Every structure is written in structure tokens, then in C-alpha cells.
Amino acid sequence: MTQKYDVIVVGAGPAGSMAAMKAAEGGAKTLILERYKLPRFKLCGGGVANWVVRKLNIPEYILERQYKVLSFFTPPNYERHDINLGGLGYFGVYRDAFDYALTKIALDNGAELKENKYVDHVIKQEGYVKGVTTKDGEKYEADVVIACDGALSTVAKSCGMWDAWFKSKGETWKDQMCFCVGVEVKLGEKVITERFGDSYMIFTGRDIAPMGYAWIFPKRDNVSVGLGSMAKTLEKKPTYYMNHFMKKHSVASNLLAGGEEVLMRGAWIPLRNAYKPSYDSGNIVCW
């Protein structure tokens, strides 16, 4: 049986939850379709501006750490340059908990959520997007579909925007995306406080991440280490750069010494402002 809504939002990340919150707040019958059961893992540095935390009343237990200083390390000698962030600074979060808190705000505003629903296609009629189908064979209709399904958006592909962004310009999607590797390193709260204080760190340099940068976001017990580069500029495997950064870099290797790697994942970030048009008849893509 087809189910009918005013607005369907695909994806319960920050973009999806905020789009659903606004649509539901405005009175639209709004449905979020999310492929995973929430809260779900999301690779991220997890740095969030304090105005976001205050504006959305993010509960304190989600705030893993508060940063007052951004420390830059630049080649050739990787001297440290500290920038005082002022005010409440920045916060470090884990995205499973943070994103779920945003989804709950959308639900409190009247949006509906269906989990474990992988949207595989849009339904198009006479050139208009009229809804979506899911992998388990369900059909959902709506006046507007908002695609918040992340960097490799299935909705953008299904409605034809993906080809308009890349193929029609003679490019591939990898020409316009940054590839990231993220590692969680367990160090324990005491060591983290001694080594990092209230700083989070950014490192630049061709040998670290060509056309990109590396970061260390300390949390309570772990630190989130990552690096990202324009995919086409990577001369070696991303894991090579990560291992080099963590084990051989003069500053990072000392900061991470004795840590236990508990997770390593990769993810894409769409970088350039090349994704136009970002809307179509009955469809908006949020990136």
C-alpha cells in the first residue's frame, strides 16, 4: 500500500533531521526514511560549533569535550600555532549520539521516522518526483522529496542529478570529492587531558595529506584522528598516509604514543560547489 506525505526526507543525518524539523514545524506531514536503525555510526571528527549546541539545546552528556584552542601545525618544522577560540569555543561529539539528538528534535516537532528503510529509487511522473521506493518494496508518495542521504546520495543518482553534476561535464564523481580516513585511538581520559588540554589540532603538509589536512579531535577516552584529501591528488593508498601520520610524524606520533587503535574507516566528502542544480521538480538535494 502506498503511503502519502507532504514531505519525505531521505536520511536522518544533521541535514535530514533539520530539514524534517523545519517542515514539520511549518505544518507539513513529514516522514524521515533512514537506512539504518538509530543511533547509527558516522565517521567524523565530531567538531561542533558552540552556537549549534546552544541553539539546539544539545544535552551535556553528548558533549565529549570542550575545545578552547585550535592548534595548527604547519611544515616544514611543524611548529605549533595556537588560536584562542574565545567564548565557549567548540565541542567534540560522537556523531551517533549527536545525530540521534537532532532526530529526536525533529520527532518532537511532529516528524515521523521509519528506520531500516533503504530508499533505492525516486518515483517520477511526467518529469516530477512524486515519491520514493524502498529496497523492501514499499512505496511512499510526497509533494516534495528532500534528499539528505549523504555524499553518495542514492536519490541524487536516481533522479538524474548525479549525471548532471558529473557525467555531463566530462567528470567523474571522484574528481569532485575528498576521501577521508578516520581512526579512533584509545588513550584514556588522564593521558588525553595531559597531552591535549583543551585543544584540538589541525596538521597540513603534502606528506600528510596532499590537497587536504589531518586532524586530531580529543574526546573523553579516545581521540578521533583523521585525514582527508581531494581523491584525485592521492598518490598512495589513504591508509599509507594515515599510518605515516600516526606512527612517523614528529608531533602526531608523540601525541598518539601508547594508544590502541579501536576503529578505522573511510568516507567521502563532497567538496566543491559544483553540485548544481541542487533541486529538480519535486526534489531538493541537501549537501
Cell of 30: 513529514
Residue by residue, DSSP assigns 173-239 as: GGGGEEEEEEEEEE--HHHHHHHHTTEEEEE--TTT-TTEEEEEEE-SSEEEEEEEEEGGG--S-HH
Applying CB under 6 A, among 28, 30, 34, 146 the residue interacting with ligand FAD is 34
Cell of 275: 553540485
Q: Terminal CA-to-CA distance of the chain, rounded, Å? A: 31
Applying CB under 6 A, among 9, 63, 119, 252 the residue interacting with ligand FAD is 119
Residue 282 binding ligand FAD, by CB under 6 A: no
Which among 5-13, 160-168, 191-199, 230-238 is the span making contact with ligand FAD, rule CB under 6 A?
5-13
Which residue's CB comes closest to ligand FAD? 13
Which among 60-68, 147-155, 165-173, 239-247 is the span making contact with ligand FAD, rule CB under 6 A?
147-155
Residue 159 binding ligand FAD, by CB under 6 A: no
Strand 177-186, strand 79-84: pairing: unpaired
Applying CB under 6 A, among 64, 149, 184, 280 the residue interacting with ligand FAD is 149
Q: Which residue number, 227 or 250, has a Cβ lying nearer to ligand FAD? A: 227
- What is the C-alpha separation between 245 and 215, in angstroms, rounded? 10
Contact 17, 106 (CB under 8 A): yes
Residue 11 binding ligand FAD, by CB under 6 A: yes
Burial 207-238 (b: 16+ CB within 10 A, else e): ebbeebbbbbbbbebbbbbbbbbbbeebeeeb
Residue 267 binding ligand FAD, by CB under 6 A: yes
Q: In the block, which residue shows the cell 578552547?
A: 68
Residue 212 binding ligand FAD, by CB under 6 A: no
Q: Which residue number, 42 or 249, has a Cβ lying nearer to ligand FAD? A: 42
Residue 218 binding ligand FAD, by CB under 6 A: no
Which among 1-9, 31-39, 107-115, 205-213 is the span making contact with ligand FAD, rule CB under 6 A?
31-39
| Amino acid symbol at 210 | P
Binding site residues, ligand FAD, CB under 6 A: 10-16, 33-36, 40, 42-47, 118-119, 148-150, 154, 180, 182, 226, 267, 269, 286
